[in-house]
Amino acid sequence: MLQARDEHGRLVKKPQASAISAMVANLGRGNAFVIVERVDEELESDWYVQVLLRDDNTYQLEFRDGTAAEHYQTRTISQDKVIDALSGWAESREGWKGAFMWNNIGDWFENAD
């Protein structure tokens, strides 16, 4: 099952693009992140995309494809690109990550798995 949550604890099950868009639009101090994740008790790995609104008003976007070795990060100033990426990931839309240059940060989490 797909779910989205924010720092305030708002949880949306099976979020549509409109819900993801509203959650990103409501980011600010005290509510700085949104995580969209696949929750399945049978999966041993983590599958998610998340965004953090940084203090400099840039968006730090990350996704994880199952294992720590497959954890990527990028930054942008475009809220629209963030919404497109989160919605595209949630919908399994091909090319959702194409608007960014992603850096593999898996080595940051070497001992996490």
- Write down how long the chain is: 113
Give CA–CA dist 61/35, Å, rounded: 10
Tokens of 51: 């965004």
| pLDDT the model gives residue 45 | 66
The strand ranges marked E within 7-102 are 11-13, 33-38, 46-53, 59-66, 71-76
Q: Nearest CA to 96 among 55, 53, 65? A: 65
- SS3 label, residue 68: helix
Is 108's pLDDT higher than 90?
Answer: no
Is 113's pLDDT higher than 60?
Answer: no
- The residue-averaged pLDDT of 90-100 equals 94
pLDDT digits (tens, 9 = 90+) for 19-65: 999 999 999 999 999 999 988 766 666 889 999 999 999 999 999 98
| pLDDT the model gives residue 111 | 62
- SS3 label, residue 91: coil
- The residue-averaged pLDDT of 81-97 equals 95
